Amino acid sequence: MGRIVVISTGGTIASRWQGSGFAADADGSEVMATAPLPEDITVEVVDLFSVNSPRLTTAHQLTLLRTVHEVLADPGVDGIVVTHGTDTLEESAFLVDLHHHDPRTVVFTGAQRPMGTADGDGPGNLYDALLTAATTRGLGVLIAFGGRVHAARGTVKTQAVALDAFADPSKELLGKIGFGKVTMLRAPQRPEPLPLPAMPELPPRVDMVMHHADGDPVLLNAAVAAGARGIVLVGTGAGNATPEIVAAVKDAVARGVLVALTTRVAAGPVTEIYTHGGAVDLVAAGAVATGTLRAPQARIAVLSALLAATDPTEQGRILQRSLASTDPATLVTV
């Protein structure tokens, strides 16, 4: 079925006992040795780094993005699998998807249980990811996990330790894997991809601030004072806060800070319904509503916009474009 390149970055799928807990330790070849290969697939391994994914930085993620593009420069490659820690997998997968312009599939996967355990899920997830990378085309970046296929856009980690760790709470399942077959149920919605960004000497700071009862602008203002060039405001409900936070957002935008608005609610879109500090006022103050994207992926969208342009107005346009979905959600057969 093809030649697949596996890019290894660490995570639980590569973790072993360290005396007091588990940590990424194994290289990509060791991880690959745990999994059976689908028929007619050959695998090459790229050991990029081996870290627990909470320790990933923007520099790590941009290095991964560039490595994906370098691997796909070889026309003999049929697809890519990225093994990754689950804690920040949704961020890295979405970053790659925002810049993915190739019909060949990039599939992220990982594990909830460390390698070598009798009930480990890593080998099965890796097999499924290889099969998905080899047999699908034109779907962008995918996540194969727990027998399911998810689009990178909108998919988040919904279970801290359960094996079925990922889902898009706002959309129906994208596909499923079983008995050596990948079945896609619909096509993911994706906007036009962004160009590959340069590797900055110092990546822009992008912070997240969550609203809650008694919430005030202190943390948002502190982020601006700390040099944040982008802020993701995590509102309540459909994307709401207070008049005081609206004023802080307006001031931040006036200073050239790119502000995105999402919600702490698990599913559903940010919607301009309420005033008196609600999404109506926050958007009027210059915040960009992120639809159904939750905070970690909204932050990645802001980061990509900041890397793509220097003018704040153009950054806002790029962010809006990155949030748009133009492809209809239709049934497809793979």
- The pLDDT assigned to 272 comes to 98
Catalytic residue among 9, 12, 109, 132: 12
DSSP state of 36: P
SS3 17: strand
- The pLDDT assigned to 191 comes to 94
- The pLDDT assigned to 330 comes to 32
Q: Name all contacts of 221-228 with Cβ < 8 Å and 24+ positions apart.
A: 221/248, 224/251, 224/252, 224/255, 224/257, 228/257
Secondary structure (DSSP) of 242-275: -HHHHHHHHHHHHTT-EEEEEESSSSS-------
* Known active-site residue 242: no
What pTM does this model have?
0.95
- The pLDDT assigned to 332 comes to 37
- Looking up tokens 């034109």 gives 138
Assigned token pair, 315? 């950054």
- The pLDDT assigned to 1 comes to 66
SS3 142: strand
Query: Tens of pLDDT along the chain (334 residues)?
Result: 699 999 999 999 999 999 999 999 999 999 999 999 999 999 999 999 999 999 999 999 999 999 999 999 999 999 999 999 999 999 999 999 999 999 999 999 999 999 989 999 999 999 999 999 999 999 999 999 999 999 999 999 999 999 999 999 999 999 999 999 999 999 998 999 999 999 999 999 999 999 999 999 999 999 999 999 999 999 999 999 999 999 999 999 999 999 999 999 999 999 999 999 999 999 999 999 999 999 999 999 999 999 999 999 999 999 999 998 633 333 333 3
- The pLDDT assigned to 324 comes to 84
Amino acid identity of residue 146, one-letter, is G
- The pLDDT assigned to 325 comes to 63
